Each structure stands twice: as C-alpha cells, then as structure tokens.
C-alpha cells in the first residue's frame, strides 16, 4: 500500500509539474538541447542547454553545475521551471551540467574535489616536440572543478549562437561549492557568481562537522545513497538507507551505538567517502585541501553569496565564504552577502514568511528573487539598471526587517559580554569566577535536539521551542531580566567558557534563545507562544579541539580549562518585553554523534568506551555579542 501511495505521489508531482504555468512558459519560450562537452583531459560532461526561441537578441549564459542531476533527461523533456522565473522571462541561456563522475557525465567523481592552486585554469598548450624521434607523450593535464568550469564556459561561449559573451554561475549547497570553483576558474567571460549556501568547510562548520563534532544524522542519511559508487553514466540516482524500523531518529541512532557500528550494520563498507572521512578524525591536510577559502584572492567576477540564518547545513559556508573574499581582496572587488530568514535553499522555494512556529510577516523569498538576485545578474551580465545593493543585505529577525550595511559585521556595534551567573542569571556584570554550576552528562541519555519524534532531521529545529531542554537536569539555563528596550545583536557570537570535567573529553553546546513574553496570547501551529523559547543560534564545540583542530588535546580531569569558539553570525532583535537566554549542554543528539567523554578516537571506539562524566561551567564564563550601539 505504501509503495502504491508513493508511486501515485510521484506520478501526481510530475503530472502537475508538466502542466504548471512555469513549465508551459519554458516549453513555449525556450528550446532545449543536450550535448557532451569535452574537458581538457578528454572526459565529456553531460550538459542541458535551454536557449530562448527569440533569436533576434543576444543573451548571457547562466550556468549551474551539479552532482544532483540536471534531469529531466531527453531533449523533449523540460524542467518545470527555473530557479528565478524573473530571469527566465527577461531572457537568459540556462545551462545545467552534471559534474564529472555524476549521472550522465563521464569520469570519476571526487567529493569536494580539491582545488589545484598551482594549476593554470586556462587549457594547457601542447609542448613542441624536440625531434622526430621524441615520442614522449605530453603529461596528462591536471584537472579540478575550476578547470572543468573553465573548459565548459570556453566551449559555451564559442559554440552557442546568440550568447553575449557574459556568463553567470550560481548554485545552492553542493552546486554552491561548484559556484565557488567558478570564481577560481578565472575565465574572463565569467562576470558574476552567486554561491548560495555553499559547501565550504566540511570539518569546521558545514554539513558533516561543526567544530570537529561529527554531524552523524545528516552524514549517514546523505551518504548512504549519494556516496555509493556510480561505475557508468546513468540517469538514476542511488536510493539511500531505508531500513529504519522506527519512526524515531533518536531511538535509531542511540541503538546503533558507536560510529564504528555503522559500517558493519548498515553501510557494509560500500561508501568510499564515509571510509575516508573516518580515517581523518582531525583537521589534517586531507580536510584542508577541501577548503577553498585560502585560494580566493585576486578574484575578477562580481560575487554575491547567499545564505539563510536558519540553514541547518551550510550557514557557516555562506558567512565565511563572504568573509574570506572580503579579507583577501582589494576593497574595490565586488563582494556581497545576502542573508535571509531561510532554511537551506529556502529563498528558492516557498514564501519564506515563517519557519515552524516563528513568523516573519513578509514573503522574503519573492523579495529576494525580484529585488536582489534579478537586478544582480541583470546589472553584471546585461549592463542593465543600477545595483543599489549594499555590501551586506541582511534580514533582521525579531524586528522582521530588511537591513543594509556597507560592511559586515556592521561598524556601529559594541562588544558586550553576558556572564553566566548564579541562580541562572545572565548579566553584563561578572560574578564570582570561582563559583560554578555542574551537571552529569550521560551518553546513554543524551540531550535531544528537538522535543518531537521524527525520523528525518527537521528544518524547523533551528527556531524550535527550547522549553523541553530547559527542563532537563543536564542543561544549564541562564536568562536576563525582562528587557526594557530592544536589544539588537549583529555579527558572530563568541562563546568564552571556563569549564571542568571528570572525564578527559567533552562536547560543549551553546544555544542563544529569545524568550517571548509569558503574557503573549498568540498560538502558532497549535503551540502557545507565551513563554516560547525560540532558538536563535546554536553551535557545538568538540572540547578536544579547543586549542587546535589539527592537534587535539585531552582535558585534565577536574581542572578548569578555557573553551572558546565562534557561533555563526546572527542579525536578531530581542524585543522589549522579551528575555535573552543562554543554554549550555554537552550533547545535541542525534544531530551530533555522542562524545564518549574519554580521549579516544571517536571513529574507532566501541560502545564500552562511553562513560558518564560530571561537567562544571564556571561563573567566569561569558557569551560575547556585537550589540548595535544605543541598545545595550
């Protein structure tokens, strides 16, 4: 029965897509062709091209390279619509390409393939032979995603009729990584690039690790299908793991036990990247090679990085890609950041007017498509209009307003520390630095990331009510008095903890929470909003990396140590009548894997290695915010 319902749902979806107004528009106004574009090493990449039927004009090219398939396949099969139909109706050549080794493209796929900094993106010139007897073959060209982008763009501008010689590149998530590689391709025709929720650093803050803590639930769910080998070109993807036998992810991952069990029980050693990942528990050269940020220097195209405040996957990547370009390039380089109240890719789907129980009171996604993305590409690829965008276009949650700044973080801020004090008080005044709260952390009963029972990781947890966590004895809660004026925080948040543990390792989770007034009578999705504890930002730090991600260190039991780490940036107003709350805990399950609380290799340890530990948080601990001047 479930299979029949699934098949019916799939059929209904494609039937609706085929008959949608956007699909009809694309069919009426665009001609689709499919071609294999050769790369410099002879490998050919499958490419779908949608060209306007009106051939009286020249059009710029918008390119998206993806590992997720540029389906539907077949020259008579059209997409249901483009990401931004404002661009489609104005006229662009849309190009979609399966990256090397994925779906219908030839070659071998490599996850976040390392950029080759010494490699010239331009096609290599064949060396002259020394003589008739010199039959030494030329060395194979070095390839990466930047060279593949360069070669694709070079072919497109030389072979497509009616292109105007300008290329824009965009993409969300993994395609956001390939957009970053388009910056490094350095092709003169690439004039504008928009990495959106870009995969940037899979150890420090994106997707599968946060400050060294393994985000097990996302990694397993994703790689159980995506990570399976694809020996030959195909139009079909691999299905992911499905034998959950429970509707409860907390239950499933707790029973699965230590990470080493996943291969034996579920993956059966069939996912190469999972195996590689587990062989690199620390931030070594293997991880560093997959971080493009150090190479983003002397860039030429205009860049607009886009992300979501509530992106559970690549919020880090958006903020930090922008910052890397800003810090490593001339002031006149065109570099912008756009952040809205969105989940992963939320600006490209849905209204963007709410997340879970939290309402933003405006259709932010449509505003982005029409007023931000559309004029960006129009200006840089067609020379049309003006570009009124500031360096930072940021939606400020809480006040629910779009704001603009000439730089990010904004200049008009003051650094303010809120100290974790006695009796759960949160104050700008330091307390007795030798005093503390303590709690027992038990890996057999980790703190859940959400109150509800779900199988798949929710998007809404990023704004979920945290009252369930505040009631647990292994979660410390600190709160200000009721605010007498608005408090607006903009920029990164620094956790500056002083802690001790009876074990030799521990994770530290800090959550920044907006507590709504108790008197609020609003009900959202059946949830009373009076006293609602909205998660504004949360982050985890694996304690062994407190001094170095490259060289982990054990804690000395019962000895106070500093654990300092950065939470991704926010732009949020805690309104008058609300409270600012901080929660500190030592597990966030099953978002992050459990720490055995011993200094052992977590990827190789057994179930027997997990022990209880008592953790202390000293009153000298503080959370540092950048507060807008005039409301601190």
Q: Please list, in sequence order, all residues whose beta carbon lies within 8 angstroms of the beta carbon of residue 336, skipping any fewer than 6 positions away.
A: 302, 303, 304, 305, 322, 376, 389, 390, 391, 392, 393
Q: Give me the residues of the chain with pLDDT under 50, please.
A: 1-18, 129-130, 632
Instruction: With respect to residue 588, please indicate whether it lies within any of the assigned structural domains.
Output: yes
Q: Are 318 and 197 in contact (CB under 8 A)?
A: yes
401 lies in some domain? no
- Residue pLDDT, tens place only, 85-115: 999 999 999 999 999 999 999 999 999 999 9
Tally Cβ neighbours within 10 Å of residue 139. 8
**pLDDT for residue 140:** 83
Cα dihedral sign for 274, 276, 281, 285?
Answer: negative
Residue 397 main-chain phi, psi, to 5 deg: -75, 165
For residue 209, what is the enclosing H or E element?
strand 209-210
Query: Does 28 reside within a domain?
Result: no
11 within some domain: no
Residue 426, domain member (yes or no): yes
CA–CA gap between residue 452 and residue 463 (Å, rounded): 13
Q: 476-515 pLDDT, tens per residue?
A: 999 999 999 999 999 999 999 999 999 999 999 999 999 9
CA 581/CA 467 separation, integer angstroms: 11
Tally of domains within the chain: 1
Does 157 fall in a domain? no
Q: Residue 20: its pLDDT value, please?
A: 83
Burial of 69 (0-12, 13-18, 19+ CB in 10 A): middle
Here the CATH number for the domain that contains residue 604 is 2.60.120.260
How many C-beta atoms surround the C-beta of residue 485 within 10 A? 11
Contact 358, 463 (CB under 8 A): yes
Q: Which residues contact 508 (CB under 8 A, 6 or more apart)?
A: 495, 497, 499, 540, 541, 543, 563, 565, 584, 586
Q: Name the residue range of residue 493's domain.
A: 413-628
Has residue 60 been placed in a domain? Answer: no
Q: Minimal CA–CA distance to 427: which of 537, 581, 574?
A: 581
What three-state secondary structure class fits 192?
Answer: strand
Task: Give the rounded distance of the alpha carbon of 296 from its chain centre.
Answer: 18
H helices of 279-314, in order, are: 285-288
Half-sphere exposure (CA, 13 Å, Cβ side) for 256?
A: 27
pLDDT of the residue at 128? 52
pLDDT attached to residue 431: 86
pLDDT at 407: 94
Is residue 468 in some structural domain?
Answer: yes
Q: How far apart are CA 363 and CA 393, in angstroms?
A: 16
Please tell me whether residue 361 adopts helix, strand or coil conformation. coil
SS3 224: helix
């Amino acid at each position: 029965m479930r299979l029949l319902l699934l098949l019916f749902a799939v059929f209904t979806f494609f039937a609706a897509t085929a008959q949608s107004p956007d699909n009809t528009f694309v069919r009426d106004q665009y001609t689709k062709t499919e071609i294999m574009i050769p790369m410099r090493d002879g490998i050919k990449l499958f490419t779908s091209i949608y060209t306007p039927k009106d051939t009286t004009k020249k059009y710029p090219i918008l390119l998206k390279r993806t590992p997720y398939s540029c389906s539907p396949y077949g020259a008579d099969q059209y997409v249901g619509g483009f990401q931004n139909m404002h661009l489609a109706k104005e006229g662009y050549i849309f190009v979609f390409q399966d990256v090397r080794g994925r779906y219908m493209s030839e070659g071998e796929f490599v996850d976040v393939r390392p950029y080759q900094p010494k490699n010239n993106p331009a096609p290599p010139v064949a060396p002259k032979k020394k003589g008739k007897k010199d039959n030494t073959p030329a060395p194979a060209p070095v390839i990466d995603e930047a060279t593949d982008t360069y070669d694709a763009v070079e072919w497109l501008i030389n072979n497509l009729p009616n292109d105007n010689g300008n290329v824009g590149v965009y993409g969300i998530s993994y395609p956001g990584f390939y957009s970053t590689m388009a910056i490094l391709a350095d092709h003169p025709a690439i004039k504008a690039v928009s990495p959106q929720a870009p995969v940037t650093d899979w150890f420090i803050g994106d997707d599968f690790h946060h400050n060294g803590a393994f985000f097990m639930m996302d990694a397993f769910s994703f790689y159980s299908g995506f990570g399976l080998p694809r020996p030959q070109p195909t139009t079909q993807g691999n299905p992911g793991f499905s034998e959950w036998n429970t509707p409860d992810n907390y239950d499933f991952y707790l029973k699965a036990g230590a990470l080493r069990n996943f291969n034996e029980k579920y993956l059966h050693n069939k996912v190469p990247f999972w195996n590689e990942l587990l062989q690199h528990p620390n931030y070594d050269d293997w991880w560093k090679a997959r971080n493009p940020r150090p190479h983003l220097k002397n860039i030429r195209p205009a860049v607009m990085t886009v992300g979501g405040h509530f992106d559970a996957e690549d919020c880090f990547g958006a903020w930090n890609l922008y910052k890397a370009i800003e810090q490593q390039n001339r002031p006149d380089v065109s570099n912008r950041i756009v952040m809205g109240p969105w989940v992963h890719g939320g600006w490209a789907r849905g209204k963007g007017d709410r997340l879970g129980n939290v309402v933003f009171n405006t259709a932010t996604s449509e505003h982005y498509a029409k007023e931000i993305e559309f004029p960006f590409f129009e200006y840089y690829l067609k020379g049309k209009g003006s570009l009124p965008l500031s360096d930072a276009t940021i939606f400020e949650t809480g006040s629910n307003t779009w704001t603009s700044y000439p730089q990010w973080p904004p200049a008009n801020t003051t650094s303010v520390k809120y100290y974790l004090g006695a009796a759960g008080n949160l104050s700008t005044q330091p307390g007795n630095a030798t005093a503390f709260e303590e709690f027992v952390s038990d890996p057999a009963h980790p703190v859940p990331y959400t109150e509800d029972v779900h199988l798949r990781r929710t998007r809404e947890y990023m704004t979920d009510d945290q009252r369930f966590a505040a009631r647990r004895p292994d979660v410390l809660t600190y709160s200000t008095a009721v605010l007498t004026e608005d408090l607006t925080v903009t920029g990164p948040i620094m956790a500056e903890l002083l802690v001790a543990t009876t074990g030799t390792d521990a994770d530290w989770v800090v959550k920044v929470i907006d507590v709504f007034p108790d008197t609020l009578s609003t009900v959202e999705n059946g949830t009373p909003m009076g006293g609602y504890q909205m998660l504004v930002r949360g982050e985890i730090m694996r304690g062994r990396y407190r001094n170095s991600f490259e060289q982990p260190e054990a804690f000395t039991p019962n000895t106070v140590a500093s654990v300092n780490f950065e939470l991704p940036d926010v732009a949020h107003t805690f309104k008058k009548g609300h409270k600012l709350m901080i929660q500190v805990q030592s597990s966030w399950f099953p978002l992050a894997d459990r720490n055995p609380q011993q200094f052992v290799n977590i990827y190789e340890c057994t179930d027997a290695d997990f022990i209880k530990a008592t953790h202390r948080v000293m009153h000298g601990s503080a959370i540092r915010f950048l507060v807008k001047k005039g409301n601190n």
